[in-house]
Structure formats: structure tokens, C-alpha cells
Amino acid sequence: MSVAATSSAHTPAPRDPQRIYSIAELSREFAITPRTIRFYEDEGLIKPRRQGTTRLYTAGDRTRLSWILRGKRLGFSLAEIRELLDLYQVDRTGIQQLRELLRRSQLHIADLERKRADLDQHIGEFRDVEAQVSAELKQRGVDPESD
């Protein structure tokens, strides 16, 4: 869980590690639906204990949920999030997890920069079209700003 501990934007300082949370508490805290939490459970990303039909979430589950949500906001797939979280089970120092997070973050940054360049190019092309159409309308005696 090292990634969550080092990179959680939403989660305040760790709370009582013995505290148990209900699905309703986590839903309110993270502004998500209980269905979303159950979905992450179905995907194997969090594994709450059960007391009958009641789900009991530990501080660790809360931390994992925080990382899952941050990972989704950053554009990581559920498979990527699962792999990053699972790395902590392999190496409790968190070094492998952090290195992989760094590598994947760099890949996402490169992808976003390519997309931004594509968007800038498209915007430039539309600005050219806009200028040409405005000039043509003016040449025909029509105010391009009026309907």
C-alpha cells in the first residue's frame, strides 16, 4: 500500500489503524456510491471482511480505495491499478511499486503530451478555417459576427 500512502491527494494523515469503516462512511468520505465500492470489491481491488452481509472495511481498505480513486482520476486502467497495488505484496519496501508508478506515469505524460500536440494542431487548423470563412463573409459584405 505504499503508493497510496505516498501519493494520496484526497486522504488526510492516516487515521486509527484499528478503525473499521462501513460502506456508507467510505461512500460519504470519497463522494462515491456504495455501488462503486462494491464494483471495486468485485474486481478484487479491495477485500473487506464480512460480518454476515455487512462489509467491514479496514484502514488498509480505505487507503487502497483512496489510491484506486486517484489512479482512476489520473487515467490508469483498473488492470494498471491492480498491478501497482499487487506490487506492494511482492516488495513490502515499496521500491518496485514506486519505480513502476514512475515508469507508468512517464508513459501517461508522454501520451498526454502527444494528445495536447494533436489538439493544438487541430485548434490551429480551425483557427485558419475561422479566419478564411470570416474573410470570405466580409468580402461578400456580411458581418461574420451577426446571425
Q: Which domains does the chain have, with CATH numbers?
A: 2-109 (1.10.1660.10)
What is the reported pLDDT for 9? 45
Going residue by residue through the chain (147 aa), what tens digit of pLDDT does each one get?
A: 555 444 444 544 456 888 999 999 999 999 999 999 999 999 999 999 999 999 999 999 999 999 999 999 999 999 999 999 998 888 889 899 999 999 999 999 999 999 999 999 999 999 999 999 999 999 999 999 987
Task: Give 80-103 as a DSSP string.
Answer: HHHHHHHHHHH-TTSHHHHHHHHH
Q: What is the pLDDT of residue 14?
A: 55
Nearest-angstrom CA–CA distance, 17 and 58: 7
**Residue 74 and residue 8: Cα distance in Å, rounded?**
12
Name the grid cell of 113: 503530451
Instruction: Tell me the whole-structure pTM to 2 decimals.
Output: 0.72
- Smallest CA-to-CA distance from 5 within 70, 56, 80 is with 70
C-alpha cell at 69: 480513486
